[in-house]
Structure 1
């Protein structure tokens, strides 16, 4: 029988999924510890207006140095479940240290945010290899586990916002290739359903949106919502790598290029019904997600 979790630790507190997950968990009455290498500016998952103040008093924020396992022991003490999200494959010690602290703290359940690419035998890039190793390490830890393996986040489209605002353009390496991208809000809701629930122990869930879309498809949807024409510009491989290098080290840039090539070969277009199965509702469409985030594409002041 599934048990109700009382204390849940969420790593990556300043990332994309964790604040959304915290809202679900806090609303359900769970006691939360949110950890990260820095504290969010707004420490309430409900915003700065003080709503639900009686709930978010049960939320603790801790700065943890993932290079120091000892700094994680306080956060994990007494945890019924831990949601693990890390984002730097060039620092695999973070994942090892998080797991070591979870084992030493006798954590009851680990839910790992991984990636759907781990199932692709043709994927041997840095990011996918790192996630496979993370999953294997958790499976062998002795702690009950659940893997969440999503496709690309719809929020990646936010990188287009400056170009949409300034020149009515988006850009992509393979504009016609399709990805069954998913709204991070859906990942957060799924995570809130499986954390601490023993019916999900030992399960891996591939998470996708409801349809596979190309960059050109997404651009057309944005254009319709904005009521003005947009052009999706094809990037050369050199230009795409240069763009990645502005944000990532070379090994990571090469991994992203490899992922884009696999997408062009059709490796990321399959959809699943997992979100609907676990949440009881259809996954969020890109049009619905974009409507909720349209201010990012209209004026710079609207989302500052």
Structure 2
């Protein structure tokens, strides 16, 4: 039995869509009714990291688990690792982050991911770590301003990030979950090249057939925008992450996607082409 946590999230839902038929699969989400793309034979269960009983039920009979946590510093990794060990789970594949490899990264998000990795290594279970760079789908945060203003706003728009297609991360996860030979291995998952927000804006404009404008955000404005979405410690961590990106820490390209999937990593242009409807500008009113 394979357990997939975070089955409604960015990567989890894509893993659900890619799991081959014929496997025992259980999907865990806070609200199983929100799980989409699952085959009829797949089991869905309600589970929360803070509810030991629900974790025990979700993990019963599970051999391999895909662990995705999102509550920074909330103890969810520890709760899951403890429950998985008690349930006799053989191996856990954890979705971590490429930033753990950056010696200069000491922000709260990176520390949380490092701590989660260490908990898993010390658990006695087999483990594999998937460390993606930023997701290409993060650019969906620009969709509203692209549609209504034909504008992209970002901090340090000319800094490079080897962001990765979440579909590649999901495919890599499925290969690890369903294959052997990945115990005690860590894979860094990136796109095929470092791209900048300015470059992404240009690519989106070409694909949409419109002129898009890039507007550089200052640190103060970026902090205000992020504060509307995240707690203060996470906001500061994201701003520190942006500073590391400006210094070149996120431009390196890895081969993890190719190693695990047997093909090159997808480009931002390919991702954008497949998600272009999200950015389609609102038609101008007649006579304006």
Fold-level similarity (TM above 0.5): yes
Alignment match, 1:50? none
Q: Distance in 2 between matches of 1:157 and 1:281?
A: 24
Confirm or deny that 1:21 pairs with 2:21: no
Which residues of 2 match residues 60-71 of structure 1 at below 5 A? 60-71=43-54
TM-score under structure 2 length normalisation: 0.95
Confirm or deny that 1:84 pairs with 2:76: no
Contact 1:109 1:196 in 2 (8 A): no
Which residues of 2 match residues 192-211 of structure 1 at below 5 A? 192-211=174-193
Post-superposition offset of 1:272: 1.1
Q: Distance in 2 between matches of 1:138 and 1:110?
A: 8
1:73 alignment partner, one of 40, 56, 60: 56
Q: Distance in 1 between matches of 2:99 and 2:71?
A: 16
Confirm or deny that 1:121 pairs with 2:103: yes
Q: Distance in 2 between matches of 1:144 and 1:244?
A: 37
Contact 2:153 2:215 in 1 (8 A): yes
Q: Distance in 2 between matches of 1:141 and 1:198?
A: 19
Alignment match, 1:4? none
Post-superposition offset of 1:109: 1.0
Confirm or deny that 1:39 pairs with 2:3: no
Question: Is 236-245 or 58-67 further displaced after alignment?
Answer: 58-67
Consecutive aligned runs of 4 or more in structure 1 exceeding 4 Å deviation: none
Q: Distance in 1 between matches of 2:214 and 2:18?
A: 36
Alignment match, 2:286? none
Q: Distance in 2 between matches of 1:214 and 1:203?
A: 30
* SS of residue paired to 2:181: helix
Contact 2:129 2:187 in 1 (8 A): yes
**Which runs of 5 or more residues in structure 2 are unaligned?**
284-288
Confirm or deny that 1:30 pairs with 2:12: no
**Which runs of 5 or more residues in structure 1 are unaligned?**
1-6, 47-55
Post-superposition offset of 1:114: 0.2
* SS of residue paired to 2:187: strand
Alignment match, 2:207? 225
Contact 1:151 1:182 in 2 (8 A): yes
Q: Distance in 2 between matches of 1:120 and 1:153?
A: 17
Contact 2:176 2:182 in 1 (8 A): yes
Contact 2:129 2:186 in 1 (8 A): yes
With over 3 angstroms needed to count, the CA separation of the structure-2 counterparts of 1:300 and 1:38, relative to structure 1, is farther
Post-superposition offset of 1:29: 2.4
Contact 2:152 2:201 in 1 (8 A): yes
Alignment match, 1:254? 236
Post-superposition offset of 1:160: 0.3
Confirm or deny that 1:215 pairs with 2:183: no
Confirm or deny that 1:139 pairs with 2:121: yes
Q: Distance in 1 between matches of 2:72 and 2:282?
A: 32
Alignment match, 1:10? 4
Alignment match, 2:160? 178
Contact 1:70 1:101 in 2 (8 A): no
* SS of residue paired to 2:58: helix
Post-superposition offset of 1:65: 2.1
2:148 alignment partner, one of 150, 161, 166: 166
Q: Distance in 2 between matches of 1:133 and 1:90?
A: 9
Length, aligned pairs only: 283
Q: Distance in 2 between matches of 1:12 and 1:108?
A: 19
Give the alignment's Cα RMSD to 1 decimal: 1.4
TM-score under structure 1 length normalisation: 0.90
